[in-house]
């Protein structure tokens, strides 16, 4: 049915499942019809356990319905069933019949889709004439327990980077695996590679398990079509990301001024060692701190327009569950979240926690020392001793490149702290040389910086990179004043001098921001 093909809307692709755990006692054909009414643009009948006769029976009922909505019906794996009912095509996995043989059997007009989990599989399928790719498994899913590769948004991005979606040579790509209303927009955002984007997403349980499949499909489709780029992007669409630092620095005083008077909520899920200091720093910079690790109250707090700081700390399973609850709450309302992967490279538990958190939601900013950022990037070679940064062998260029690559990969803002700080949104990368050595001699200095940046970003979502830069300069220039203050004799007396300086400098900012010493990378 070749005339169907140009008009296929790949945005929302439904894959069926008849297992009671998903379908319940609903009638599958009825569910599919409701989903079509909700806007599903293509349907795949996937049945792993039924007899051939029964499959043909169901497939022909499904085909009658999909034809009514002018939507193609594909059959998972079973070319015989496809031919028996005259369906529009098949979807084949890597363990099914090979693509070339399937094409010989079904002919040039059939729609043949292939599952790909890597750029190599994708390239091969495209070369062999696949009509589209199902890429994944994006996130672990109870719907398909035998899945071999969980590739995350990072894996999607790697595949899209090689597939040239959006060009004439390209074929449509849809992502699959645990995609639902809570993550679909960030999957679309984070999988994007340059101008290569997903054409849509494929779901099973998000629709098949819903009590109201029409509403489920229609709200998913709304989310897919209404991009929330203003929330996700480091720079809002339409605004130019200038790499020229001068005009950026010029905007900083106004942002600091705005912040000092803002009382922006800064919600911290952080470790007990630093809570008191972090809360005091928040107050001194003009934000309103709340230290709450109570997951169930996160949705209410998220509605107050502030930011969430996830300070990973010891990363026990209970803490991870709480973090995920907080992340869901803030992602749902488009409130920024800062991830501070404290001690991220130190142990296998913490490295796994980072993976779980990255898969569990979207962070607007990731902040850490060299070892921690290396752990998030998955490139860390130095074993961290404690939560302090280990010895570094990398050059300035290496660090700037790592921060930029991670910002690109996660499509967010990344900050690597150290004697020199590196900040990037994947387009703009700067090195910041402000601060005081005392910040390395007191506990919680990094955690407090994270809290400051988070509230700045909540206040100035229009340009999260610039907001983070303003927060860093507020914090580090105040540290310079504190260090020079006559009352500061060592790390102990530095603390009160620093809290004073955060407040005084913030109020006095217009004259003093010119002391920021930052260079472009
Ligand atoms: N194929 P849900 S994952 C059918 O990775 C299927 O190839 C996958 O179900 C793959 O939307 C999957 O309920 C199940 O997570 C997706
Ligand atoms: Mg298969």
**CATH code at position 399:** 3.40.1190.20
Would 239 be classed as within a structural domain?
no
Q: Determine the atom of ligand 1 nearest the C-alpha atom of 203.
A: 11
Tell me how far apart the alpha carbons of residues 176 and 429 are, in angstroms, rounded to a whole number. Answer: 33
- Last-in-domain residue among 227, 253, 276: 227
Q: Whose C-alpha lies nearest to ligand 1, atom 5?
A: 137
| 137, 159, 216: residue to mutate for ligand 1 pocket, most atoms within 8 A of CB | 137
CA pair distance 140, 205, nearest whole angstrom = 13
Q: Are residues 281 and 189 in the same domain?
A: no
For ligand 2, the distance from its centroid to the CA atom of residue 131, given in whole angstroms, is 16
In a domain, 506, yes or no: yes
* CATH number of the domain to which 35 belongs: 3.20.20.70
CB-CB contact of 63 with 4 (8 Å): no
How far CA 277 is from CA of 228, 251, 303, in Å, comes to: 35, 28, 25
Ligand number with the minimum distance to the CA of 175? 1
Cα distances (Å, whole numbers) of residue 384 to 35, 344, 348, 375:
50, 8, 11, 10
Residues 173, 291 within the same domain:
no
Contact 65, 29 (CB under 8 A): yes
Nearest CA to ligand 1 atom 3: 177
Give distance in angstroms: CA of 495 to centre of ligand 1: 52
Q: Is the CB of 91 under 6 A from ligand 1?
A: no
Q: Tell me the ipTM for this assembly.
A: 0.95
Whose atoms come closest to the Cα of 15: which ligand? 1
**From the CA of 136, how far away is ligand 1's center (Å)?**
8
Would residue 156 count as lying in a domain? yes
Same-domain pairing of 197 and 84:
yes
Residue nearest to atom 6 of ligand 1 (CA): 144
- Give yes or no for a contact between 147 and 115, defined as CB atoms under 8 angstroms apart: no
Verify that 218 and 355 share a domain, yes or no. no
Q: Beta partners for 222?
A: none
Distance in Å, CA 201 to ligand 2 centroid: 17
Q: What is the DSSP letter of 303?
A: T
Ligand number nearest CA of 156 is 1
Residue 92 CA to residue 90 CA, distance in Å, equals 6
Is residue 309 located within the same domain as residue 411? yes
Tokens of residue 516, six digits: 């920021």
Into how many domains does the chain fold? 2
CB 497 within 8 A of CB 507: no
Beta carbons of 14 and 22 less than 8 angstroms apart:
no
Residue 240 forms part of a structural domain: no
Q: Indicate the burial class of 490 (C-beta count within 10 angstroms; 0-12, 13-18, 19 or more).
A: exposed
Cβ of 210 less than 6 Å from ligand 1: no
The verdict on the CB of residue 141 being under 6 Å from ligand 1 is yes
CA of 134 to the centre of ligand 1 (A): 9
- Of 227, 259, 291, the position where a domain reaches its end is 227
Query: What is the pairing mode between strands 518-520 and 429-432?
Result: antiparallel
pLDDT of the chain, 521 residues: tens digit per residue: 445 556 899 999 999 999 999 999 999 999 999 999 999 999 999 999 999 999 999 999 999 999 999 999 999 999 999 999 999 999 999 999 999 999 999 999 999 999 999 999 999 999 999 999 999 999 999 999 988 899 999 999 999 998 865 555 679 999 999 999 999 999 999 999 888 899 999 999 999 999 999 999 999 999 999 877 667 877 776 777 777 778 888 899 999 999 999 999 999 999 888 999 999 999 999 999 999 999 999 999 999 999 999 999 889 999 999 999 999 999 989 899 999 999 888 899 999 999 999 999 999 999 999 999 999 998 765 544 455 555 566 788 999 999 999 999 999 999 999 999 999 999 899 999 999 999 999 999 999 999 999 999 999 998 999 999 999 999 999 999 999 999 999 999 999 999 999 999 988 874 555 455 555 55
Nearest ligand, CA 146 = 1
The token pair that represents 153 in the structure block? 């948004």
Rounded distance from Cα 301 to ligand 2 centre (Å): 43
Residue 76 near ligand 1, beta carbon < 6 Å = no
Q: Please state whether beta strands 421-424 and 413-416 pair in parallel, antiparallel, or not at all (unpaired).
A: antiparallel
How many whole angstroms from 46 Cα to the centroid of ligand 2?
Answer: 8
235 is a domain residue: no
Tokens (6 digits) for 340: 């501070």
Q: How far apart are alpha carbons 254 and 259 in whole angstroms?
A: 9
Strands 307-311 and 264-269: parallel
Q: How far apart are CA 81 and CA 71, in angstroms?
A: 18
| Contact (Cβ atoms closer than 8 angstroms) between residue 346 and residue 387 | yes
Q: Do residues 35 and 141 touch, judged by C-beta distance below 8 A?
A: no
For the chain, counts of helices (H) and of strands (E):
22, 17
**By C-alpha distance, which of 226, 252, 227, 310 is closest to 460?**
252
Domain that holds residue 48: 2-227
Q: Residue of the nearest CA to atom 15 in ligand 1?
A: 178
Verify that 122 and 88 share a domain, yes or no. yes
Q: Work out which ligand 1 atom sits closest to the CA atom of 178.
A: 15
Longest dimension (CA), the chain: 88
Same-domain check for residues 223 and 271? no
Based on the fold, state whether residues 177 and 126 are members of the same structural domain.
Answer: yes
In a shared domain, residues 208 and 258: no
Task: Examine residue 179 and state whether it is found in any structural domain, yes or no.
Answer: yes
Q: Exactly one of 82, 163, 282, 447 is catalytic; name it.
A: 447
Q: Is the CB of 15 under 6 A from ligand 1?
A: yes
DSSP, collapsed to helix, strand or coil, labels residue 175 as: strand
Q: Is residue 233 part of a domain?
A: no
Instruction: Give the Cα-Cα-Cα angle 448, 449, 451 (nearest 5 degrees).
Output: 65
Q: Are 62 and 31 in contact (CB under 8 A)?
A: no
Query: Does the CB atom of residue 176 touch ligand 1 within 6 A?
Result: yes
Query: Residue 46 C-alpha to ligand 1 middle, in angstroms?
Result: 10
Assess whether 208 and 250 both reside in one domain. no
Is residue 417 in contact with ligand 1, taking CB distance under 6 Å?
no
User: Which ligand has the minimum distance to the alpha carbon of residue 148?
Assistant: 1
**Together in a domain, 134 and 44:** yes
Ligand 1 neighbour 183 (Cβ under 6 A): no
Mutation probe of ligand 1 site: the residue of 13, 143, 175, 359 with most atoms within 8 A of C-beta: 143
Rg (CA), the chain: 26
87 assigned to some structural domain: yes
Residues 217 and 333 in one domain: no
SS (H, E, C) 471-492: HHHHHHHHHHHHHHCCCCCCHH
* Residue at a domain's end among 227, 254, 281: 227
Length of the chain: 521
Model pLDDT, residue 512? 53
Instruction: Output DSSP code: residue 296.
Output: G
According to DSSP, the residues that pair with 92 across neighbouring strands are 114
**What is the side-by-side strand order in the sheet with 307-311?**
287-291, 264-269, 307-311, 337-340, 365-368, 413-416, 421-424, 429-432, 518-520
Does residue 488 have an active-site annotation?
no
Range list of β-strands (E), 369-484:
413-416, 421-424, 429-432
User: Does residue 180 have a cis bond before it (omega within 30 degrees)?
Assistant: no
């Amino acid at each position: 049915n070749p005339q169907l093909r140009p008009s296929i809307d790949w945005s929302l692709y439904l894959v069926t499942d008849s297992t009671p755990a998903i379908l319940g006692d609903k009638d599958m054909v009825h569910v599919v019809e409701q989903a079509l009414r909700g806007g599903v643009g293509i349907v795949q009948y996937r049945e792993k356990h039924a007899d051939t006769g029964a499959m043909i029976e169901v497939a022909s009922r499904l085909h009658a319905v999909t034809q009514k909505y002018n939507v193609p019906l594909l059959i998972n794996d079973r070319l015989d069933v496809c031919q028996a009912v005259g369906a529009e095509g098949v979807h084949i996995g890597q363990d099914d019949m090979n693509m070339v043989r399937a094409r010989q059997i079904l002919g040039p007009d059939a729609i043949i889709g292939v599952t790909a989990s890597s750029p190599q599989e994708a390239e091969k399928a495209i070369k062999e004439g696949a009509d589209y790719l199902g890429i994944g498994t994006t996130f672990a899913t109870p719907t398909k327990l035998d899945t071999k590769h969980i590739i995350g948004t990072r894996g999607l991005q790697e595949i899209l980077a090689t597939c040239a979606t959006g060009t004439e040579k390209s074929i449509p790509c849809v992502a699959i695996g645990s995609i639902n209303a809570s993550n679909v927009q960030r999957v679309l955002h984070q999988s994007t590679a340059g101008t290569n984007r997903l054409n849509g997403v494929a779901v099973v349980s998000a629709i098949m398990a819903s009590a109201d499949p029409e509403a489920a499909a229609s709200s998913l489709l709304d989310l897919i079509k209404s991009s929330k780029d203003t929330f996700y992007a480091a720079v809002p669409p339409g605004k130019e990301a200038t790499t020229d630092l001068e005009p950026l620095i010029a905007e900083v005083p106004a942002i600091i001024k705005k912040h000092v008077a803002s009382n922006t909520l800064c919600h911290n899920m952080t470790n007990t060692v630093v809570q008191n200091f972090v809360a005091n720093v928040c107050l001194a910079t003009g934000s309103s701190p709340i230290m709450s690790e109570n997951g169930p109250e996160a949705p209410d707090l998220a509605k107050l327009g502030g930011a969430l700081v996830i300070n990973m700390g010891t990363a026990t399973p209970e803490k991870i569950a709480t973090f995920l609850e907080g992340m869901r709450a803030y992602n749902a309302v488009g409130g920024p979240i800062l991830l501070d992967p404290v001690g991220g490279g130190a142990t296998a538990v913490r490295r796994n926690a980072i993976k779980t958190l990255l898969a569990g939601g979207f962070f607007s900013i990731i902040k850490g020392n060299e070892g921690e950022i290396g752990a998030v990037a998955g490139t860390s070679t130095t074993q961290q001793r404690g939560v302090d940064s280990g010895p570094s062998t990398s050059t300035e260029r290496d660090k700037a490149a790592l921060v930029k690559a991670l910002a690109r990969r996660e499509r967010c803002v990344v900050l690597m702290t150290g004697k020199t700080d590196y900040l990037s949104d994947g387009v703009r990368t700067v090195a910041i040389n402000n601060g005081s050595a005392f910040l390395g001699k007191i506990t919680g200095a990094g955690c407090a910086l994270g809290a400051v940046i988070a509230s700045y970003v909540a206040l100035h979502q229009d340009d999260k990179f610039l907001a983070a830069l303003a927060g860093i300069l507020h914090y580090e220039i105040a540290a310079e004043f504190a260090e020079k203050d006559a009352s500061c004799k060592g790390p102990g007396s530095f603390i009160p001098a620093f809290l004073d300086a955060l407040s005084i400098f913030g109020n006095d900012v217009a004259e003093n921001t010119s002391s920021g010493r930052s260079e472009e990378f």
